[in-house]
Structure 1
Amino acid sequence: MIMQNRYPAPIGKLRSLFVATLLALSVSACAIGPYDTKELAGLTPPDSQFLQGLSNEYVALGDLERDEYDWPDTARFYDRAIRAGKGEMVEPEALEKRDLEAAGRQELKQARDRLTELFNAGARSIAGPGSARAQAGFDCWMQELEEGHQPDDIANCRAMFLAALSDVEASVNGALVVLLPEDDGKLGVIRVENQQGSVVLDTVRASALVGRADTAPLASGTFAEDDVWVVFGAAIAAGPVPPVTFMLYFEQGTNVLTPESQVLLEKVLETIRQRNLPQVEVSGHTDRSGSTAYNDRLALDRAGIVGQEILNLGVPENVLTVESFGERAPVVPTADGVSEPRNRRVEIVIR
């Protein structure tokens, strides 16, 4: 933009000198504080292509605003770059953070909803770089629309967002497979295969996408832990609760629980109360200090006492199994006639 100088020469020179001094001070100030991205140099890149790309995209946006001496937005974008570089899952900027006109706000809301829907489908993990460009394009578009005086910049940011969004939408179509560890922490191996090819998943949160029957499965990297809960949280919560096993111990030759096991029994009963449709297996065991026949009866007596406590909760009899193993399944193998406290027990499995 060209402006005509309406000031007399001396005043114009003074004004130019003042502006030059102000800009010099501003440039000096931007080397420290919220305008400095040197902090990124000392960070270990996050284990996420999305966050790595997002941090770089925000640095680029901050650089553009810095060149225009827009210090608040420089600080805003650099701050988001640093947060992403530290591994924080930075969300697209909220519309409430900007002073927007009604017409622009409506279009931005629709755009943000589309982007959020893709993120909820796992796009940040499936198409990390494209998702980063889409989010940066959205934030850039909103920032320029708030300023409202650079229509070319508004159009460029909007175009950046829409192009990246289109690429991401094309990437997330298909069946998604993510390898998660079992409840005990063990990790298996999954082969995702069709007639066009296969992908082996053997690391935690490794993922693959099968777009169409006529295309081979595509390895899509390590799924972000946050995205696992965003995408699969409801399914995980609806899945079966893993079984829980308890051990209750008895005084020698009696059906009296040890004091510690009497306390633990309350935890057993509370666990059963928390299950909607529990299946409970109770098995009695003894050591080898008595005869086999005596131990069979004693083990069944012990299991029956625990089983009755469970029935007293209102648990239907058809979900409870009570059995005796006597001395035949010791935890600690011993010779006949040996007393072993760890073998005098009732095992309870709650499914």
Structure 2
Amino acid sequence: MTKRNDRQTLRGRAFALLLACSVGACALGPYDTEELKDLPPPDSLFLQELSRQYVELGDMERAEYDWPDTARFYDRAIRAAKGEIFEPEQLSARYLDPAEQTELSDARTQLASLFSAGARSIAGPESARGQAGFDCWIQELEEGHQPADIAYCRAIFVAAVSEIEAAVKGALVVLLPDADGKLGAVSVDNAGGSVLLDTERASALVAAAGATPRSAGTFVQADVEAVFGAALAASPAPPVTFVLYFEQGTDNLTSESRDLLATVSETITRRKLPQVEISGHTDRAGTTAYNDRLALDRARIVNSSVLGLGVPARVVAVESYGERAPIVPTADGVSEPRNRRVEIVIR
């Protein structure tokens, strides 16, 4: 028996199983799209079109009484409508001739590469047609008895990929919040025009040098992770600042500030390539020269404590600002506890 006949036998068994389940009132998957009527459309153009494409594929298989693939495509339509982003079908999910797998594997890799470049956000409808076209192609190849349908699905995939490749070319800018959650704005400008990005995950694409920047829509989070995940993971952590306070006229830390030293040391050692700035400050009680010396003594005391906890000296810089950089501005000669401090900035 040929492999094609093996596939037909397996599909016949699946059909028999479905008949048995219908008699026993069991369910293997959705055989209609009634659930979609109560679902609001997803924000993503990609997911909107993907759901629609899978409904069409499910309808085609339903018309041919191919219940397993009807259920498969309708299920995917519902998942997309609910906002789920999932990958094109795996080759291992289908019974395919080895001769067919090379082209399919290359096609799937090509589509995955485009998705990793942000295609689902930049070219949402085209990306949806590419994914649905691939799943249609692989399904028709498994059936193997409708050459026209195989060619039709493959053509949809090829055309979609061509459109996606044209859409994703160029320099991409996506606006993301800072580590503390604050969101700024950025203007993407050149001689051809400008695009203002001022909402989270808003994006712009410049297709070529001098080309007019165009809005590429709002990136879905999955595309942010796919395109920028490695870069974000490699980004240095934001600076951390500690402030330690002193008793008036002395280089003695307050008890609360002494308790912070272990946390300071742990924060420094967690950094791969730390840079530490320790700066001493005083209030304006005392002369300028006296306060310069006192501030430096305070910074050195903290530096010695940090080095004693295992921080290497080569990563630390120590300086004195005396009374010249108060947190709370005061008149000369005024004692202010918040100005008697050492600031530690860890980068």
Q: Could you say which TM-score interval applies, normalised by the shorter chain?
A: 0.7 to 0.9
| 1:188 aligned to which of 185, 190, 199 | 185
Shift of 1:336: 6.2
For the pair 1:100 / 2:96, whether they are aligned, the reply is yes
1:127/1:172 contact within 8 Å kept: yes
Shift of 1:33: 6.3
Shift of 1:80: 1.7
| 1:116 aligned to which of 98, 102, 112 | 112
- Residue number in structure 2 paired with 1:267: 263
SS of the residue aligned with 1:90?
coil
Identify which range, 137-146 or 206-215, moves more after superposition.
206-215
2:280/2:298 contact within 8 Å kept: yes
Residue by residue over 1:238-262, the C-alpha shift from the partner in whole angstroms, topping out at 9 and shown as x without a partner, is: 4443222112233454434344433
Shift of 1:101: 1.8
TM-score (norm. length: structure 1)? 0.81
Shift of 1:149: 2.5
Distance 2:127 2:336 in 1: 62
Distance 2:153 2:26 in 1: 28
For the pair 1:69 / 2:59, whether they are aligned, the reply is no
2:49/2:128 contact within 8 Å kept: yes
For the pair 1:163 / 2:159, whether they are aligned, the reply is yes
Q: Which runs of 5+ in 1 are unaligned?
A: 1-18
- Closer, same or farther in 2 for the Cα pair 1:69/1:248, shift >3 Å? farther
Identify which range, 289-298 or 122-131, moves more after superposition.
289-298
Shift of 1:166: 1.2
Identify which range, 67-76 or 90-99, moves more after superposition.
67-76
Shift of 1:108: 1.0
TM-score (norm. length: structure 2)? 0.82
For the pair 1:204 / 2:200, whether they are aligned, the reply is yes
2:31/2:74 contact within 8 Å kept: yes
Amino acid at match of 2:187: I
Distance 1:39 1:192 in 2: 45
SS of the residue aligned with 1:58?
helix
Distance 1:259 1:149 in 2: 82
C-alpha RMSD over aligned residues: 3.0
1:193/1:199 contact within 8 Å kept: no
- Residue number in structure 2 paired with 1:309: 305
- Residue number in structure 1 paired with 2:7: none
SS of the residue aligned with 1:281?
strand
Q: Which runs of 5+ in 2 are unaligned?
A: 1-15
Amino acid at match of 1:201: L
User: Identity over aligned residues, as a percent?
Assistant: 66
Identify which range, 55-64 or 182-191, moves more after superposition.
182-191
Amino acid at match of 1:60: E
Distance 1:242 1:288 in 2: 32
1:179/1:190 contact within 8 Å kept: no
Identify which range, 270-279 or 106-115, moves more after superposition.
270-279
SS of the residue aligned with 1:35?
coil
- Residue number in structure 2 paired with 1:57: 53
For the pair 1:48 / 2:52, whether they are aligned, the reply is no
Distance 2:213 2:282 in 1: 54
